[in-house]
Structure 1
Amino acid sequence: MKLWRWILLLVVIAALAAFCWHWVAEDPGYVLVRLRGVTVQTSLLAAVVLLLAAWVAAVTLWRLARWPFGAFSRRHRKVSQQRLAEGLVALMEGRHGDAERDLNRASRLGTLRGPALLAAAEASSRRGEHARALESLDEAAQVAPRAARVLRARVLRRDGKPAEALSLLIPEADNGSLSPGGWREYALAALASGDVRRARAALEPLQKSGVLGSRGYAALETQVLVASLNASTDGAVLNTLWSQLPKAQRRAPAVIDVYARKAAGYGLLLPAMDEVESALRREWSPQLVETYSVLAGDDLDARLRRAEGWLDGHPNDASLLLALGRMCVRMNLAGKARQYLERSLALVPSANAWEALGDLYTNQSDAALAQRCYRNAIALARGDATEPLPAAPIVGGRVDTRPVAIEERDSHGVPRLRE
């Protein structure tokens, strides 16, 4: 509070005191108390002051009398709070056995019973003791039923019982009273049990709550949409679902990748290509470039020319070079395929590039080189060292594998000088 407010408060108090004093001075009142021959006479103001003093003395004496008896409860409360803190720290450090012991002891204090039992159930679940976790949740449900229900669903899902977890949350989900954590468990349990419709229904409340953050929600949304598209049984169902999705949900590269592959598998190659090309025009994606190269179809020649045009803007993109090499292998263009794949390996070695190079040598009936490429692909996937090809351009240096410098321009079109 500012100084002027204190001054104003003191002035008001002084004015009230002066007014009350004059009011009492005019007629201080008269109080007569007679008890068993004892007579006490005083003014009203003095009687009020005496009653207040007696009340303060009585309260003080009562607290002094209670203090020795409350020492044990105060110690119990302090110890329980300390055990709760130590149990939570142990839980975060991964010492789940210590956490479970401390948290169960802390739950003996009534005010800490709910959170301590919930944390103890989480510790038991992380240890794999799901039965003990459910026992703790039975007790926690008496204090915090909603939180215990959500945690019970999580324990059941971890125990390989997603259908039971989903059925536990369905009543609250249907009436819209699930907590944000409950909606997350609802979505994950629905995914694990194959109920993609209910998993999609959880996306909207999760997005509104903002509990997962933008990155966490985007990852869960992509997971749900990918599962939904993969569950499509035919092209009509796939296109119906795709058309019902909002535009924002149809922009994730992983979602477009699944749609394109499923659509091509159902013979809908043209819609698949349109979605992939539109997405690449909006934003470059190595994942979609790979999708573009592996889709079936008889238009490989036109697709190759279109992809080669992307080299002007992405000359050092290993995924694009790999995609071009794969298409050239499928079209039996051995020279171009070898050049693209060797440059891709020089920029970013990958098992897929070695595998594509092995396919190239297989088409040329060179079993020795093909087997070496396949071994390199397996070794690279395992993290082992690869064996270079004998007299290969990637070793001999006949192909320039240095990154191509791209001219950078500012917003006015003026080239920028490189440092």
Structure 2
Amino acid sequence: MKRGLLLLLFILFAGAWLGEKMVQDPGYVLVSYNSTTIETSLWVLLVAGLVSFIAAYILLRLLSKARIPTTELRHWGERRALRNAHRKTLKGLQAFNDGNWWKAQRYLSQAAPRAELPLINYLTAARAAQEQGDDKGADELLLQARQQSPQNATATDIAQAQLQFERGQFEECRTTLTALQTKVPKHSQVLRLLHSCLVQLGDWQGLAALLPELRQNKILPQESLLALELRCHRTVLGQSLAQLPADTEHETRVQVLNRAWQDLPTQLTSEEGLVCDYVTQLITLGEEARAEIFLRDQIKRNWNDNLVRIYGRLQGENAHKQLEIARKWQQEHPDNADVLLTLGRLSMRNGHWGKAIGFFEQSIALQPGADAYAELCRLLQHLGEHDRVATLLQEGLSTTGSGLPSLPMPDKSATVSA
């Protein structure tokens, strides 16, 4: 109450003082612009300016409280555009689901700039373009997706790699996926697609390097991984010599082959297929003696009937020593047809013809096989026992050819005709 009274007294005093000043000296103000002039007293100009300021302030307050309609109009326009984009997106997805690729691409690409999830629109539209064979259109849509959603570059790059793979652009696909793997090394879709791409390219070296990632992230079943691993390393081993120039020296070839074998994972060095491949390549290089030593060591560490059969075909530096080694195997595996076949062959290398015949006959008795019959017939033929050879041939045909179908046969008196 006192404060209000004091304020009123101050205003009255100020008004009286100001009125007296106005009476004493009203002042003079002249404003001239071009041919127009305004003359007034100083006090009238000050009062007019104060009134104008108060009026402008009140007007602005009123306008701010009234909310200018243009803002609402702008918001209404945006909501309408969003509804339109949503409607077109739904139509595009329905068309895509129905296989109407042209309509799907049109609706989805039109709605993409204002869609809630523009990346989905662009990627699906790119897929629709791809289905129409419009590779250029698909790539342009993916480029727009990158520009619109740079934070989702990984998804766009995966879509790009998928389209490249389907087009058969395997080199481009590998480039895209290799860059992606650097950014997202454990992404399952990237690894799975990279695996398929490398298989198509026949890049077994790259697949061998990718195997740890495939295994760690469980991209393939364990059985498939093991088969893939074996295939990769068998191919790499087989290509180790084929990649060398034709004029490469013999010793260099041997070193390259040995290095390729040493680079194999330890757990694969006892795999029968890899061992046979390595031995075959040593034989091709004329290194049969090295192959014999290697194969002997393999059989010692991991017994394998097929490797024993191959051992009998090898000519080592000491045929007598080979025969003695095979005799020890017979003591450990007395009823093994493959050991007996190998003993027969090694006996022939040592000139023990009678013992060779005995080993071949024992092998046939345990397990009739084409190799044993062929070796025995060949030996007997050279020994002049033709009648026995004829009997064995008939016996071998009836044994090894037991799966032949029942067919009509000519009489003995029949003649051969065309």
Decide which structure has the larger Cα Rg and report it: 2
